[in-house]
Amino acid sequence: MEQLALFILRISLMAIPLYVCNGLALVFGGRKHIDFGRKFFDGKPILGEGKTFKGTFAGIFFAGIASLAISTAFPQATEIMGTNYMFYGTVLGIGAVLGDFAGSFAKRRLGIERGKSVLWLDQLDFVAGGLALGLIIAMPTPLEALFLLAFTMIAHVLGNTIAFSARMKKVPW
Ligand code: CTP
Ligand code: MG
C-alpha cells in the first residue's frame, strides 16, 4: 500500500510540471515564432508557426512556478524525488519544450503541416523530452516512465472524447 502511494506521488510530481508546461504553452501561445519564420534546407519551416517565444517561455516559467509552489507547500513530499524539486520541475519544463520542438521539427521534415495531428508523437513528445532531460537530475524507474507515457495517452483520449461529447470539439481526436 505504501509502495503504491509512493509510486503515485512520484508519478504526480513528474507529471505536474510536464502538463503545466505543455498546457500553459498553449494558453500563452503568442505571435513571434521561435524559428523566426525561417525555413530549413528542405525549404519547409524549421519548426513552424505553432512554436512561439511567449508559449515557450510561459511553459517553462509556469513549470518552475508550479514546482516551487508544490515544494513550498509540501516540502516533505517533494523530498522523495531526492533532489531540489523546484530545480527538477524547471528542467522537466525545459525538456518538455525541447521534446515538443523535436516533434514539430520531425513533422515539418515529413511535410506535415503545423497543427495536423500525428498520433503518439503529438501526445508524447513533451513527456519523453522532459523525462529525458530530467535524467541529468533524477531518474524515473522504467515502470514510472512507461506509466507516465501510457497515462498521458489515455488522458488525452479521454479528454478529447469528453470535449467532443460536450461539443467543445468538432472531431473526437
Ligand atoms: N505553443 C506555443 N509555443 C510552444 C508550444 C505551443 O506558442 N512552444 C502554442 C501555439 O499556439 C500552438 C499551440 O500552443 O499552436 C498548440 O501546441 P502544439 O500542439 O504543440 O502545436 P501545433 O500548433 O499543433 O503545431 P505542430 O504541428 O508543430 O505540433
Ligand atoms: Mg498540435
**pTM of the prediction?**
0.95
- Note the pLDDT of residue 170: 77
Q: Ligand 1 atom 28: the closest Cα is on which residue?
A: 104
Question: Minimum-distance ligand to the CA of 109?
Answer: 1
Give domain limits for the chain. Answer: 2-165
Taking only the tens place, the pLDDT of each residue in 31-63 is 999 999 999 999 999 999 999 999 999 999 999
CA of 116 to the centre of ligand 2 (A): 7
- Pocket around ligand 1: residues whose beta carbon is below 6 Å from it? 25-26, 29-30, 48, 50-52, 55-56, 97, 100, 104, 107, 114-115, 122
Residue located nearest, by CA, to atom 13 of ligand 1? 26
DSSP label at residue 172: -
pLDDT computed for residue 68 by the predictor = 98
Q: Flag residues of the chain having pLDDT under 70.
A: none
DSSP result, 21-61: HHHHHHHH--SSBTTTT-B-TTSSBSS-TT-BHHHHHHHHH
Q: Which atom of ligand 1 is nearest to the CA of 126?
A: 20
Three-state secondary structure of 103-159: HHHHHHHCCCCCCCCCCCHHHHHHHHHHHHHHCCCCCCCHHHHHHHHHHHHHHHHHH
For residues 138 and 116, give the distance between their C-alpha atoms in angstroms, rounded to a whole number. Answer: 33
Interval 81-92: pLDDT, tens: 999 999 999 999
Q: Which of 34, 86, 29, 82 is CA-nearest to residue 63?
A: 86
Rg of the chain over Cα atoms, rounded to whole angstroms, equals 17
